[in-house]
Amino acid sequence: MAERSLTLMAVHAHPDDEATSTGGVLARYAAEGITTVLVTCTDGRCGDGPDGVKPGDPGHDPAAVVAMRQAELEASCAALKVSHLETLGYGDSGMMGWATNDLPGAFWATPVDEAADRLAELIRRYRPDVVVTYDENGFYGHPDHIQAHRITMAAVAKTDVPAKVYWTTVPRTAFAEFGRIMRELGVDWAEPDASSAEPTPELGLPDDEITTWVDTRSYGEQKFDALAAHASQTENIFFLQLGRERFTDLMGMETFVRVRDTTGAPLPEDDLFAGLR
């Protein structure tokens, strides 16, 4: 029998999430002969419609948005050479506090155990060596990102299959540079309001708390194309204004926190598959 390929599974909330934080690793590991599996949990119905029409505005057709975003997701996967795309099909819950959070079928309203069982079935089928998802706050507090984190960690516990599990993150030193470049491009880049009664959790991590730094600059073209495939979501793809070269320079290092490991690979590391090959 042929030896089984190493496998990476990335669990994301919406169509387009795969491109920003994991587009580089999906492209890199596919090129290295590793099987890549993308699980997208929601249908993206709370995204923009044609011409940027917003959810709840006249002309926003959720069913049409779902179809459009599915086609964009498939194009993104083609750009990244993703081996297998799995969609769980839960309703996009919208931002925290929206009425859509509680609609029947919304991901946020789905019991964690129920959705985790479905993801566990995929984990048993694909046998991923490495699983990647978000941290407990879904990186920035989006309910669907938080739910994706919850079901992933529950599914890992149910199956005990992956040798390694990672959460995506960004070094805090990078945020100042992001802000400078975004302001240079004329993009509104709001700084945290220190006077707020409910301060926003600080995004990302100090550099010394990041365990894994993966250089994906050689795959910047593919990552750029994957993000560009989601052209309907103009607010989410503003990084494309950088152009390909600056985009690759800024977005070419993907960073993670390792939260499960059975390999004993030393930290810090520069490869999600360190200790497995």
CATH class for the region spanning 7-261: alpha beta
Residue extents of the structural domains in the chain: 7-261
pLDDT of 190 = 56
pLDDT of 1 = 41
Which stretches within 163-243 are classed as H helix?
Answer: 172-184, 220-228
pLDDT of 74 = 98
Q: Would you say residue 267 has pLDDT above 90?
A: yes
**Residue 176 or 26, more confident:** 26
What number is the average pLDDT over the span 191-215?
74
Q: Which region among 187-191, 238-242, 270-274 has the lowest average model confidence (pLDDT)?
A: 187-191
Q: Which region among 17-21, 50-54, 70-74, 83-87 has the lowest average model confidence (pLDDT)?
A: 50-54
pLDDT of 104 = 95
Q: What is the band of 183 on the pLDDT scale with cuts at 50, 70, 90?
A: confident
Q: Are 131 and 12 in contact (CB under 8 A)?
A: no
If you write DSSP's letter for every residue of 157-178 in order, what string do you get? HHH---SEEEEEE-BHHHHHHH
Q: What is the band of 90 on the pLDDT scale with cuts at 50, 70, 90?
A: very high
What number is the average pLDDT over the span 118-124?
98
pLDDT of 193 = 46
Whole-number mean pLDDT of the chain? 92
Q: What global pTM score does this model have?
A: 0.93
Q: Are 53 and 23 in contact (CB under 8 A)?
A: no
How many degrees, rounded to 5, is the angle at CA 198 between CA 193 and CA 200?
Answer: 55
Q: Which region among 72-81, 196-205, 246-255 has the lowest average model confidence (pLDDT)?
A: 196-205
Encoded amino acid at 258, one letter: R
Q: What is the band of 195 on the pLDDT scale with cuts at 50, 70, 90?
A: very low
Q: Are 259 and 27 in contact (CB under 8 A)?
A: no
**Residue 242 or 161, more confident:** 161
pLDDT tens digits for 2-12? 467 999 999 99
H or E segment to which residue 137 belongs: none
